[in-house]
């Protein structure tokens, strides 16, 4: 029997209430409320299928209208019809029966409908019965309800994951801040003993015995190394704290090349490391000139420092549209793939990569400068003995 115009309007209104919100409880309050009002029902109960372990399943109440179970006849009639637990075969048998009707001794009728991939919807009518055409017409509405519930649950799961991720990030940031604060504190506290050791400069060495003079010299060397470490740590933490680009100034690329050449050419020659500058160094840039110079100095310093006699270092500048790319390539010791992220963190130096006077702060400082200026700094290396290539993109 075809649906009447009035029934079509009823189903339309119910359909429009389904999926109106992505909050499960709000959506169900609206949708099941429409079911009850438009179909003249007295109660509804939504059951969700859950796994209980060892291949068993149960149907647990997920939402009721009315909400109080003592007033909800649907909940009471569910207890009389639905078992506490099912195996896979039992679930299949139950779903094959749906939809079905259960009548109480008082003449109430409970209609059990399948909600695909979710569970069961139970609707109770206290007086009269639902027409068979109505029961059949509810099937597509119930499928829509099941799909809307799945979307709501996925959104809730995503929200919970985002909250957990946000909390984890906050905790990680807190741990990182605590770690930096501790190391900064230690770096600061080093100044007091350094000042004491520095007072050795006031000693007139000619009044000391040769053995005492050698002891003083050893202490002075240690003083210089610890002073350098404290200064590098202080510089790193200052950059980490500010996280702000430097004042933009004009940089002549040709002048930058000559400054880098004069800074490292003699050191490279002493080590027997050929140092070349390639590419188009014409023109000028307006940016954090001090930061750019510090990053390039760190990259070239490392390239020369980790190269042996005959292993060339090439500094190349390439232009493409609005992009400027510096590449510092060496033929030195190389970097293992699993360490290519760690080298940008402070003090992360593998034993075989340690050089005299190196403390593992130059690349972390370069990373902070690049992050503050929104530059890109990355490294490529095929592994030990394969050399490295650092690429700075502005």
d(CA 277, CA 259): 12
CB-CB neighbours of 300 under 10 Å: 24
Q: Is the pLDDT reported for residue 391 higher than 90? A: yes
* Structure confidence at residue 209 (pLDDT): 78
- Summary mean pLDDT of the chain: 84
Task: Please report which helix (H) or strand (E) contains residue 101, including its range.
Answer: strand 100-103
Residue 35 gets the label, from left (phi > 0), alpha (psi -120 to 50) or beta, of alpha
Greatest CA separation found in the chain?
120
- Please state, for a pLDDT cut of 70, what percent of the chain lies above it: 82
Assigned CATH class of 248-393: alpha beta
* Structure confidence at residue 339 (pLDDT): 82
Q: Is the pLDDT reported for residue 109 higher than 90? A: yes
> Please, which residues bridge with residue 320 across strands?
323
Which range, of 120-129, 297-306, 344-353, averages the lowest pLDDT?
344-353
274 touches 294 (CB < 8 A): no
Closest CA to 77 of 106, 34, 56, 98: 106
Average pLDDT over every residue of 134-143: 91
Place of tokens 């307006």: 286
Pairwise pLDDT comparison (67 vs 372), residue with the higher score: 372
* Structure confidence at residue 129 (pLDDT): 92
> To 5 degrees, how large is the angle CA 65–CA 69–CA 73?
70
Residue 170 gets the label, from left (phi > 0), alpha (psi -120 to 50) or beta, of alpha
Pairwise pLDDT comparison (240 vs 46), residue with the higher score: 46
Q: What is the pLDDT of residues 4-46, one digit of tens each?
A: 666 677 777 787 878 777 788 888 898 889 999 999 999 999 9
Assigned CATH class of 5-162: alpha beta
* Band (171; pLDDT cuts 50, 70, 90): confident
Instruction: Give 76-83's long-range contacts (Cβ < 8 A, gap of 24+).
Output: 77/102, 77/104, 77/108, 77/110, 77/122, 77/124, 78/45, 78/47, 78/110, 78/122, 81/110, 81/112, 82/47, 82/120
Show me where the domains of the chain are located: 5-162, 166-242, 248-393
Q: Is the pLDDT reported for residue 2 higher than 60? A: no
* Structure confidence at residue 283 (pLDDT): 92
d(CA 263, CA 212): 37
- The domains spanning 5-162 and 248-393 adopt the same CATH topology: no
* Band (241; pLDDT cuts 50, 70, 90): low
280 touches 289 (CB < 8 A): no
d(CA 243, CA 237): 10
Report how far Cα 193 is from the mean position of its chain's Cα atoms.
41
């Amino acid at each position: 029997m075809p649906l009447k115009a009035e029934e079509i309007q009823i189903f339309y209104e119910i359909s429009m209430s389904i999926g109106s919100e992505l909050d499960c409880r709000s959506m169900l309050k609206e949708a099941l409320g429409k079911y009850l009002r438009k179909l003249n029902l007295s109660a509804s109960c939504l059951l969700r299928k859950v796994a209980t372990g060892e291949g068993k399943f149960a149907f647990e109440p997920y939402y009721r209208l009315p909400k109080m179970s003592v007033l909800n006849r649907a909940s009471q009639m569910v207890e009389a019809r639905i078992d506490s637990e099912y195996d896979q075969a039992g679930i299949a048998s139950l779903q094959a029966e749906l939809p079905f009707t259960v009548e109480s001794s008082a003449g109430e009728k409970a209609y059990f409908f399948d909600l695909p991939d979710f569970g069961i919807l139970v609707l109770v009518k206290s007086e009269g019965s639902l027409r068979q055409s109505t029961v059949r017409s509810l099937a597509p509405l119930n499928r829509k309800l099941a799909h809307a519930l799945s979307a709501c649950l996925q959104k809730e799961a995503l929200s919970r994951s985002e909250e957990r991720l946000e909390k984890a990030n906050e905790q990680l940031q807190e741990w990182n801040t605590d770690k930096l604060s501790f190391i900064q504190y230690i770096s600061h506290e080093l100044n007091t003993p350094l000042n004491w050791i520095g007072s050795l400069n006031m000693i007139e060495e000619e009044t000391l015995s040769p053995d005492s003079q050698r002891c003083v010299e050893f202490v002075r060397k240690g003083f210089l190394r610890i002073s350098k470490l404290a200064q590098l740590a202080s510089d790193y933490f200052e950059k980490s704290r500010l996280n702000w680009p430097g004042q933009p100034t004009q940089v002549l690329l040709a002048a930058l090349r000559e400054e880098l050449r004069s800074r490292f050419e003699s050191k490279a020659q002493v080590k027997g490391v050929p140092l070349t500058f390639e590419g188009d160094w014409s023109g000028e840039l307006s940016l954090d000139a001090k930061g750019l110079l510090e990053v390039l100095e760190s990259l070239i310093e490392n390239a020369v420092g980790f190269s042996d006699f005959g292993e060339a270092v090439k500094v190349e500048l390439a232009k493409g549209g609005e992009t400027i790319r510096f590449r510092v390539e060496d033929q030195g010791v190389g970097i293992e793939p699993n360490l290519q992220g760690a080298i940008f963190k402070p003090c992360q130096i593998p034993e075989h990569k340690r050089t005299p006077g190196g403390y593992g702060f130059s690349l972390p400082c370069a990373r902070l400068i690049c992050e503050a200026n929104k530059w890109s700094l990355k490294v490529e290396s095929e592994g030990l003995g394969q050399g490295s290539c650092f690429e700075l993109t502005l």
